[in-house]
Amino acid sequence: MQRKIIHIDMDCFFAAVEMRDNPTLCDIPIAIGGSKVARGVIGACNYPARVFGVRSAMPTAQALKLCPHLLLLPGSMHKYKAASQQIMQILARYSDHIEPLSLDEAYLDVSESPLHQGSATLIAEEIRAVILAETGLTASAGVAPNKFLAKIASDERKPDGLFVIRPEQVNDFIKQLAIEKIPGIGPKTAKRLHDLGVYVCPDIFALPLAQLVRQFGAFSQLLLERCQGIDHRVISSQRQRKSVGVEHTYSEDIQQLEQCQAQLPGLLETLRQRLERQQTNQPIQKLGIKLKFNDFQQTTVEQQAQQPSLAVLQQLLVTAWQRGQGRSVRLIGIQVGLADQDHRQLSLEL
């Protein structure tokens, strides 16, 4: 049976909730989070802010250089969660097969839906209209034969748009798809692929398989599948968490290794508390540490572990610190990687 997958993605969700509740914000650049005092990071921003180059996860100082009149809002997570719950309840009217990805996006499988005579396009249009009518928020949607293509499609007509990739259009769509648009390919991987002459999906088939495997290991199989528009993943309503972590950005750069080491006990205690709140049955399979240096470059070091251990974190910190080659540290993060509930190794997923 040909699957029909819809990906719903709310438009600048946190900022949209703020603009809905205060219409005077609609036409000015706003951003959520990003304290000026504590060297914060932008959590979300609206489209007027994006015109100036402001993006989520951008340091506040950089955002304010690009847009000096940017209005910073502290954000209100309880409002965003309430809006998200309302949206998910709307989605549940259209399918029993829903996979939330975050507060503001989700997949739906409507392959067997009788609504609109089985037209996924018309179902997606109705979902967008109902979300707008009942929440005052706009959503973009992608419709495609699989999750990978549906997610890409939802970004094609943002904001407040719909894009459909029919089964017979997949080959033509993939032929022109830039390699960096594949979810999971970040700037570093994209550069490695560009260096090999891979810019659009079909380019990857000019590389010898042995070279591809040598460069990307097991990831090469997923690359080959996605570059053909193939994705066999099913909609899963019970997603398992892959990691739990905590991190902290410091108001002043840390100059010495010993100062970094002194931060670990507090971070570890916060991590243990977060693990307790998660109440997950998934066993821990690895422990990692992340450092972000004063030039915003970062490094991560991990090793196999069955519990969060201060001694192991201290060892990982030394390795990460040495990679900095004398640079000071602005952020420290620690996390545990979780195995699935039947103790198998987590599968790599784009």
**Helix intervals (H) in 51-181:** 60-66, 77-91, 120-135, 147-154, 170-175
9 among annotated binding-site residues: yes
Of 229, 3, 14, 4, give the one whose Cα is nearest residue 102. Answer: 14
Say whether 40 sits in a helix, a strand or coil.
coil
Helix-, strand-, coil-residue percentages of the chain, each rounded to 5: 40, 25, 35
Q: Which amino acid is at 308?
A: P
**φ/ψ (deg, to 5) at 22:** -145, 85
b/e per residue 188-221 (b: at least 16 CB within 10 A): ebbeebeebebeebbebeebeeeebeebbeebbe
* Alpha-helix residue ranges (DSSP H) falling in 12-76: 13-21, 47-50, 60-66
Q: Of 105, 125, 180, 247, which is the active-site residue?
A: 105
* 340 belongs to an annotated ligand binding site: no
- What is the number of residues in the chain? 350
| Residue labelled with tokens 């905590």 | 246
Tokens (6 digits) for 273: 């508390």
User: Is 105 annotated as catalytic?
Assistant: yes
Summarize the annotated binding site for Mg(2+) as residue ranges: 9, 104
Catalytic residue annotation: 105
Summarize the annotated binding site as residue ranges: 9, 104
